Amino acid sequence: MTTRLTLDQCGLNTGKKTRLHRILYRHGLGNGTALFLPYDQGLEHGPRDFFANPDAASPRYIIRLALEGGFNGIAIQIGLAEKFYWDYAGEVPLILKLNGKTEIPSDAEALSPLHATVADAVRLGADAVGYTLYVGTPAQERDFAQLQAVRRDAQRLGMPLIVWAYPRGAAIAAKGGKDSFYAVHYAARTAGELGADMVKVNFPHPEKRTAVPAPYDREYSTGNAVEQVVRAANRTLLLISGGAKAGDDAMIEKASESMAGGATGLIFGRNVWQRPWPESLRFVTRLRDVLAKYPTV
């Protein structure tokens, strides 16, 4: 049986523990699990993501959704944080997303440039910062350099560091793709080795086995893959993301498997807000029901 990681085990300094405690025990279900609302698609994909539900183009709408839905935090870029968070400051934890990019230019050397600093996050009352790391990108050298600078500031200022660990690049594409068990497994480990306090990964697909290293070229159940990914993160709290919008039942099933496998929480964006408000809340209720079954005390 899987034992879920507790905050005491994560090697956190006082500031980091204070802020993560606030996120995990003073917001959302307050049971040590996490449900995050990411809202950086306006930059990452452009406004095209909002045509499915035009109201979702408004950050104010999204923050209100996070509040009403009982999320543990909302992840946004500096511009939106400066303009929209003040109205609801303190009511829902802010995760300041420090880097991001548009999808317009070529992704061949994927790198997500910094737009804000950990000090910005402190100034805005954020409870965590987010950094997108493209594990496997040819731009690895610059990506790691950026991450190091963020990690040091986060350590110094007691700010939890959440790493969006996304496999990316030609070598990944050639070996099972970006959500293969192999890729997700390696990504989780990398984030942990490099000092993430929390890591966000995609749901692993053990059936994607084209040209993966030998140990991955066997049958694994999804549940087993999730468990191994959680273990690879080592004392790094793990979030599983929903990705592009898909069927609700399939999503809830993934959420359940994630939590059963030892994840600390879920991070769902488009699956939540690419539909009308009442439907969003209904879906969120189902996600919360899953989380309620996996308290960490």
**Of 10 and 260, which has the nearer Cβ to its own copies?**
10
**Of 196 and 251, which has the nearer Cβ to its own copies?**
196
Residue matched to tokens 């804000």: 116
Q: Find the shortest distance in angstroms from Cβ 210 to its own copies.
A: 15
**Of 115 and 209, which has the nearer Cβ to its own copies?**
115
**Of 161 and 272, which has the nearer Cβ to its own copies?**
161
How far is the C-alpha of 272 from the C-alpha of 35, rounded, in Å? 11
Of residues 131, 166, 182, 294, which has the active-site annotation?
166
Of residues 97, 178, 200, 208, which has the active-site annotation?
200
Q: Is 249 exposed, middle or buried (0-12, 13-18, 19+ CB in 10 A)?
A: exposed
How far is the C-alpha of 41 from the C-alpha of 119, rounded, in Å? 23
Nearest CA among 100, 135, 73 for reference residue 265: 73
Q: Find the shortest distance in angstroms from Cβ 102 to its own copies.
A: 6
**Of 114 and 281, which has the nearer Cβ to its own copies?**
114
Nearest CA among 85, 69, 166 for reference residue 121: 85
How far is the C-alpha of 236 from the C-alpha of 278, rounded, in Å? 34
- H helices of 85-221, where? 118-123, 140-157, 170-174, 181-193
Residues 6+ apart with CB under 8 A from 141: none
Residues 6+ apart with CB under 8 A from 12: 20, 160, 197
CA end-to-end span of the chain, whole Å?
16
Residue 124 main-chain phi, psi, to 5 deg: -90, 5
Establish whether 216 is a catalytic residue: no
**Of 24 and 111, which has the nearer Cβ to its own copies?**
111
In this structure, the chain runs to a length of 297
Q: Find the shortest distance in angstroms from Cβ 129 to its own copies.
A: 14
Q: Find the shortest distance in angstroms from Cβ 199 to its own copies.
A: 10
Amino acid identity at 100: G
Residues linked to residue 130 through DSSP beta bridges, in sequence order: 97, 162
Q: Find the shortest distance in angstroms from Cβ 51 to its own copies.
A: 4
Q: Find the shortest distance in angstroms from Cβ 142 to its own copies.
A: 8
Establish whether 166 is a catalytic residue: yes
C-alpha gyration radius of the chain? 18
Which residues form the catalytic set? 166, 200
